[in-house]
Structure 1
């Protein structure tokens, strides 16, 4: 007699006290009709009873340490690969920063021309940007490969790349003033600027989605 395969599974679940009432009834009915399965079920119950009768023998305090010490050492390469596998987001971010750093360093070495962000109420003389006294510049002001003299007011951040700043006693900057004169400083400035731009884009998209749902 060929018995259903799930009957054996029901036996194990019954012994583990995990069998549902409906399946338990099905198992009992089958055992009443099948002598072969009765023998198997009785042997399983005897084996379980034997295992339960064995007294608990606690392992020594240094058992785990001894076993771990005898295991072969994992190769460092495998460990690194496993770390990458378990941290995909950090891996992707690290690769992005690495590639971005190389590109930005290359751009830093090539950019030698004077430039200034487009703002009103500023005067440009040679390589110097002047915020005249009594004038107000709204927004962030960025000067590359030049200097800046602030005699008026800047309502935002001021960043000077490869240059110097001069803030008169009457001058005022509502945001931060930052000088970037080294490659690493410039790289950090670019990363922060990119992060701010991405945050602005994400916020704009989120606001647009919220409006579309209204």
Structure 2
């Protein structure tokens, strides 16, 4: 449309209801003389009438629910993240158990070094620990990755981790004897040891 911009502005003013009488007369005379502008003006009127005729249309009552139902379901990963945010204490405990379990598993597979508790009357020969006949060893005895031969007396508990225990006919143990050769047993042993350490730290004098 090659008519002046002023005519287009007058069209908009007329459709908005803001046109002055003198300007409306100018627009009317131009539309009577210009078929192209007249056609354009009528198209604009039809568009506005269509918009006004649909202004009363409302969406169905269940429109929102139907749209939400058709949306893609939330990914499982996102729902898991929300659960962890809603249960921080349980999440922290789960992470602690996983890390602790991983550490114990790594310790079980990598700890192949021989070690023994430090009682002075234990006899150590290579990876073999001997409680001599006639000797009394005070306190708990722990042997890791080695062999324990008991000919005398142990006044305490005996724990053999990933090793072997032999007791002579004269051998004696006043406490419990525990042999740990499986991962589950090792995990339980480490947990008990950690609990005992905490208890001793809280009650160093053994007072109740």
Task: Give the secondary structure class of the aligned counterpart of 1:191.
Answer: helix
Equivalent residue for 1:150? 150
Deviation at residue 119 of structure 1 after TM alignment: 1.1
Structure with higher Rg: it is: 2
1:89-128 aligned within 5 A: 91-128=91-128
Distance 1:100 1:138, change over 3 A: same
Unaligned runs of 5+ in 2: 1-74
1:27-46 aligned within 5 A: none
CA distance in 1: counterparts of 2:205 and 2:119, whole angstroms: 27
Unaligned runs of 5+ in 1: 1-74, 208-214
TM-score (norm 1): 0.54
Equivalent residue for 1:43? none
2:176 matched to 1:168? no
Distance 1:93 1:174, change over 3 A: farther
> Runs in 1 of length 4+ with deviation above 4 angstroms?
75-87
Contact 2:200/2:206 (8 A) holds in 1 = no
1:192-203 aligned within 5 A: 192-203=192-203
Contact 2:122/2:132 (8 A) holds in 1 = yes
Deviation at residue 94 of structure 1 after TM alignment: 3.7
Distance 1:173 1:187, change over 3 A: same
Deviation at residue 95 of structure 1 after TM alignment: 2.9
> Cα RMSD between the aligned structures?
3.0
Equivalent residue for 2:14? none
Distance 1:206 1:146, change over 3 A: closer
